[in-house]
Amino acid sequence: MAYNKSCITNESDVLKWVVHKEFGELRRCLELEEASFIQCVESTAAGFFSSIQRQTDDLTHTLAKFKEAEGTLEALSNDSHLGFITKYGYIAPRFRECQQIQQREEKTYSSINFKPGFNHNDIKISVWKRLHRKVLPAPECLKLDPLTAHPMLDLSLGDTVVECGALLKRLANNPERFSYSYCVLASQGYWEVYVGDKPKWHLGLIKGTAGRKAKLPKSPESDVWLIGLKEGHVYEAFASPRVTLPLGGALTFYNADSPDELGVIYTYNTELQGKVYPLFDLCWHERGANKHPISLPQPHKDK
């Protein structure tokens, strides 16, 4: 009993330490985000203060010019016509300068709206997006499965890169292998894939029981959940009906190009049952136009 009690106490202490550590890291991240927003506000405010000060100095200078002109006019009001005409050539440039300043400043001075570059209502969602990558599990060390690869596909670099080959290989027609569509599977989990400049591709998940010998059915009703690119710029989700995507239980695809932020590409609202596998459809290489490979980035190991 005493031994069991001691073990429970030790495990409890370790778990509490882990909880404190994880929440401490989240708090530090939030503090950094808070400092970033505060710095943005203060920097914007300082810029406005500097602008207001410059405008105030300009107005003070302009007012001094007008007061000087006003004093000159008062002095001239007591002069004779001959005296006024004699002095006009001397004071006329001052009046023209005041008039030019007035015309110029009428376009410059306006009310200032304080806009720091973000909406205060969006702070939570902005911070959530930046923290999303930090709290997601690290991508698993995926390997492509040669037993599932179409005979036209070439795997390399330890089964982490795949591209369309030039020849149809004579391989065993095992049940796992794709025979029609240019596809290959990997293991399950959270993962990232690099498509590079490839103008046409499909990525997603496929249920383990889905057929692989006929043309790949591209719909959730067929236990295949895909997103893709065509013509080099049109992104689409293979839902029913098909959804053209803007580039801005659930299965979510993210744009992981940015190291600090994950952009949601598309979410399938579905409850996945049974085994599912990452699916990579390279599409036909189209005589070289779509020859670019697809690769699986490997997690960096801590030294």
Could you tell me if 100 and 157 lie in one domain? no
Could you tell me if 190 and 167 lie in one domain? yes
Q: Which pLDDT value is given to residue 231?
A: 85
pLDDT above 80 for 273: no
Bond from prior residue into 175 cis (ω within 30 degrees of 0): no
Identify the domain boundary among 109, 135, 161: 135
Tens of pLDDT along 117-166?
A: 666 666 776 777 677 666 665 555 678 889 999 999 999 988 889 998 88
**Given the structure tokens 């779509």, which residue do they identify?**
290
Q: Which pLDDT value is given to residue 128?
A: 74
- Beta-carbon contacts of 188 under 8 Å, excluding residues fewer than 6 positions away, are 275, 276, 277, 278
Could you tell me if 64 and 182 lie in one domain? no
Could you tell me if 206 and 289 lie in one domain? yes
Mean pLDDT computed over 1-9: 73
Q: Which pLDDT value is given to residue 5?
A: 75
Q: How far apart are CA 165 and CA 173, in angstroms?
A: 18
CA 220 to each of CA 143, 210, 243, 269: distance values in angstroms, whole numbers, following the listed order:
24, 11, 13, 10
CB 265 within 8 A of CB 235: yes
More confident: 177 or 123: 177
Confidence of residue 7 (pLDDT cuts 50, 70, 90): confident
245: domain CATH number is 2.60.120.920
Mean pLDDT computed over 286-295: 80
Q: Which pLDDT value is given to residue 248?
A: 40
Please check whether residue 303 lies inside any domain of the structure.
no
Could you tell me if 85 and 166 lie in one domain? no
Phi-psi region of 233 (alpha: psi -120 to 50; beta: other; left: phi over 0): alpha
Tens of pLDDT along 18-55?
A: 889 888 888 888 888 888 888 888 888 888 888 888 88
Tens of pLDDT along 182-232?
A: 999 886 555 678 888 888 989 888 888 888 888 888 888 888 889 888 888
Q: Determine how many CB atoms are found less than 10 A away from the CB of residue 172.
A: 8
Q: Is the dihedral of CA 229, 230, 235, 240 positive or negative?
A: negative
- pTM score of the predicted model: 0.46
- Beta-carbon contacts of 98 under 8 Å, excluding residues fewer than 6 positions away, are 62, 65, 66, 69
Q: Which pLDDT value is given to residue 174?
A: 92
Tens of pLDDT along 91-106?
A: 666 666 666 655 655 5
Could you tell me if 68 and 161 lie in one domain? no
pLDDT above 50 for 247: no
Low-confidence winner among 143-157, 240-254, 275-289 (lowest mean pLDDT): 240-254
